[in-house]
Structures are given as structure tokens and as C-alpha cells.
Structure 1
Amino acid sequence: MASPHLPRLDGATGWLNSAPLDPADLRGSVVLVNFWTLTCINWLRQEPYVRAWSRAYRDDGLVVVGVHTPEFSVEHDVDQVRRAVAARDIDYPVAIDNAYGVWNAFDNQYWPALYFVDTDGVIRDQHFGEGRYDESERVLQRLLGVDREPVPVRGLGVEAEADWSHLRTPETYLGYARGEHFASPDGVAFDEEATYAPPDELPRNHWALAGDWTIGAERAVLDRAGGSVVVRFHARDAHLVLSPGGPGPVPFRVLLDGEPPGPSHGVDVDEDGFGVVEDARLYQLVRQWDTIRDRTVEITFREPGVEAYAFTFG
């Protein structure tokens, strides 16, 4: 069966760093199409490689095209995407795919996803998820007709490679549409304000709320100041996708097993556990520096309105 050709890109609702592109514009170039969404930890860890390849092989004929297809409703905000692009110094074209037009044209199912396209516009390879970086770079080199040492890449902070050997806790959604392992004693009140409390003991890979929250299909929204989210996890890193839910920042504090995190604080938290939600993005709360073990992290917010979407771990 013949390999598929690069689909049309006119389903994009906008573009960053470029005028609109279509397959005819890209014919004669090797193209790497990267589907992503700004809160995805897997993409955040992959993106340093894509950025490095774009710069290393641009003069050899490589064009990287990012496609931002939102997972959560808050990710439809183009200004949020623009800030994410600027924060990572992404200078290659990015299609804004708010209507899923490009996603559906590729029949894509994953964040992140890579599609490798030759100079005739034929998709020659694909990869779903993070990892496989050496092999992906070899595919690019083969399509470009070059042979050199791989580009050195070292992710820092949130972008650092996960500690896969100690990762025991899966991604955990807080909205009821995909939420699992919710441990507050009275269960979920769907789409209405309710007062929650954590259980006396929280099992590994379970989470709970404390205070007044409204749990919707994709997020939990804090209705009164002082509410908390708590999760029991086993991983080096703990992250939470958050949005301030309004124009103002929302201060928060993280406790790890009931104490300030100290040297185990994440990049978005200081040693005393203090941080601020300013944009809709992924916040790194914990990076354990010593023996990785079961831990309980609690995040308490000083202002209402904050939106909590999903925990991820690494």
C-alpha cells in the first residue's frame, strides 16, 4: 500500500511564526510535523529535541511545523499558546488547530506526535509519545541525506527526562469525564458547588479535595479561598495543570508530607512551598532530590477561581 502524503493544513485557525502553509509550500523540503498541546508533560520533555533539530538541520532543508491542538478548553486561548512559544524560544512555524482540522486531516490520536515527510510530500515515518530521540534523528538524517553525530540535547527543569524506573503513578484527571481514584468520602457532586474533605488515609495514586469546589467535566474550580488538592504519589516529579481562572494571579502553597518541600521543591515552588498561578500551564510542584518513595503533596490556594485540570508525574 502506498505511503500517505502530507495532508492539507488549511484546517488551521491561525499561525504563529509564519504565514499559512500548505503542502505545495513545503514540497522540496523535509518536513517534521509535531502535534502538541501546551500543558502536556510529554511534549514539554520532547520539545527541546524538536527545537534543536530545527536549528541544526534547517540549512540542510528541514522545516519543522508545530501543530498546537488543545486538549483542555483553556488551551484554545491563542495568547496562552503565544506565550508558551515565546517562553521556549520556538521559532519554527506553529499552526493553531483550535477546530481540530489538522488533527483530523492526519487522523492523529496522540500528544505529542511526530510525522516525518520526505521532499516529495510522502509521510515516511511517525512516532507517538516522547522518547526514541536517536532513532527519530536518524530518520531525519536519512531523509535529508546527511550523516553526522546526533545533536546534544539536555532538558532542564520541567523538560528533564522522566525518572521512568521510579514512576508508579499515572496521569490523573480532576474532571469527572476522565477522573479516577477520587477519595473524598462523599464522592463527586457533578457540576455544582460542594464542600469536600480528604479521607483519614489516602492510598497511593488517589487524590482528594478539601474546601468548597465545583467539579466539572474537565476541571475542578475552587469556589472559596483556602481550598486544597491532595494526591498520594510515587514518582520523582509531581506536576499539576492549573489556570488562575481570571485576570489575577492566585498564590498557593505546597506541603510535602505535611511539611515545606525544602530541597524537593519543583521549579514553580520555592523551598517553603510558595508559588503563584499566573498563566494556564503545567506547574512543577515537587522534584524529589533524595530517595524516591510514596509521598503526599497538598496544594492550598489563597484565592478562589483557580482551575485544576490534571496531575502528571515524572
Structure 2
Amino acid sequence: MKLREQMPELTGATAWLNGEVTKDQLVGDKPTLIHYWSVSCGLCKEAMPQINEFRDEYKDKLNVVAVHMPRSEKDLDIEKVKEVALEHDISQPLFVDNDHKLTDAFENQYVPAYYVFDKEGKLRHFQAGGSGMKMLTKRVNRVLEESEKAE
């Protein structure tokens, strides 16, 4: 995905855990952070507490959606996804993408990967890999500030 591109529709999930959301529910109200992770990804698990902090600290200002992107056959086990999601306190809506439908729509190749959309649903920041949480925090805060000014 390129910056300023519109958020793809959130369709094609193998399953939704913790409730389902649509693009229409996310866009127009507040900015959105969509994060890709996988049960077989150690870096993803290390970053999860910080993502959960975003979710909790900005719950009134920011939508947070998790996407599970399997990297191997073992990652396709929905029970394992549920177990790891519970272990790592993933209580936000979780799109299980066993068929890579959303992954393909995002043109995403990485876990962890983070997509920050403004409240109009335009991509404002993309980041992949385990480092750079300070940069992600800065970008999320910038988009939140802009959306507050626009009100």
C-alpha cells in the first residue's frame, strides 16, 4: 500500500475473534491502527504489550484492529491463534487471515507490520519489523492530534 491510499475493505476473514468490524465502522470516526502479527513471530509477541498500551491509552481516540497473518501451515490452527491472543491480551477485534485475503489487499509481506490510517481512512504511516516503537508512537500521536484539530 502507498501512503494516502484508502483503507481496504476488511473482508475475507477466516474468522473474527473479539467481535467483527467493518471499514465503514472505522472510517469517519477516529484514526485506526491495524497491526499484523503471527503466532510464530517472536518479535510480534514482544511488541504486543506496546500495541495493547495504544489500545488502552487511546481507547476513546483510536481504533485498534489486529490481523493474524499465518506464515506457515502451523500458523493456520485457529485454536492456537485463540490461545496466543489470550496469552498476549489481544482483546481488540482480531481478523484471522488464513487465506491471505486482507494481507493481499494491503500488499503486506511482513509481521509485525503496522498501518496507521487517519479518520478519513487514508494510510498515513506504515512500519514493519520489531524496532521503531518510538516512531510508531510519534506517527500515531501526529494523526491523533490532526483529527482532534479537525473536529
Query: 2:3·2:124 contact (CA, 8 Å) conserved in 1?
Result: no
Q: Determine the structure 2 residue equivalent to 1:253.
A: none
The Cα of 1:111 is off from its aligned counterpart by 0.9
Q: Where in structure 2 are the equivalents of 1:34-45 lying within 5 Å?
A: 34-45=35-46
The Cα of 1:74 is off from its aligned counterpart by 1.4
Query: 2:113·2:128 contact (CA, 8 Å) conserved in 1?
Result: yes
Q: Determine the structure 1 residue equivalent to 2:19.
A: 18
Tell me: higher relative CO, structure 1 or 2? Use CA pairs within 8 A at least 6 residues apart.
2
Q: Determine the structure 2 residue equivalent to 1:90.
A: 90
- Shift of the 112–9 alpha-carbon distance from structure 1 to 2, 3 Å rule, reads same
Q: Determine the structure 1 residue equivalent to 2:52.
A: 51
Q: Determine the structure 2 residue equivalent to 1:134.
A: 134
Q: Determine the structure 2 residue equivalent to 1:5.
A: 6
Q: Determine the structure 1 residue equivalent to 2:72.
A: 72
| Amino acid paired to 1:36 | W
The Cα of 1:128 is off from its aligned counterpart by 0.8
The Cα of 1:48 is off from its aligned counterpart by 1.2
The Cα of 1:22 is off from its aligned counterpart by 2.0
| Amino acid paired to 1:113 | A
Identity of aligned residues (%): 29
Structure-1 separation of matches of 2:133 and 2:112: 13
Which structure has the highest strand share of the two?
A: 1
Which structure has the highest helix share of the two?
A: 2
- Shift of the 75–143 alpha-carbon distance from structure 1 to 2, 3 Å rule, reads same
| Amino acid paired to 1:85 | A
Query: 2:7·2:117 contact (CA, 8 Å) conserved in 1?
Result: yes
Structure-1 separation of matches of 2:12 and 2:130: 25
TM-score (normalised: structure 2): 0.90
- Give the secondary structure class of the aligned counterpart of 2:32: strand
Q: Where in structure 2 are the equivalents of 1:145-156 lying within 5 Å?
A: 145=145
The Cα of 1:136 is off from its aligned counterpart by 0.8
Structure-1 separation of matches of 2:49 and 2:18: 18
| Amino acid paired to 1:64 | V
CA RMSD of aligned residues (A): 1.5
Query: What's the CA shift string for 1:93-113, capped at 9, x where partnerless?
Result: 110000000000000011110
| Amino acid paired to 1:82 | K
User: Larger C-alpha radius of gyration, 1 or 2?
Assistant: 1
Q: Where in structure 2 are the equivalents of 1:1-314 lying within 5 Å?
A: 3-19=4-20, 21-27=21-27, 28-59=29-60, 61-145=61-145
- Give the secondary structure class of the aligned counterpart of 2:59: helix
The Cα of 1:2 is off from its aligned counterpart by 7.1
Q: Which ranges of 4 or more aligned residues in structure 1 deviate by more than 4 Å?
A: none
Query: 2:3·2:125 contact (CA, 8 Å) conserved in 1?
Result: no
| Amino acid paired to 2:53 | A
The Cα of 1:68 is off from its aligned counterpart by 0.2
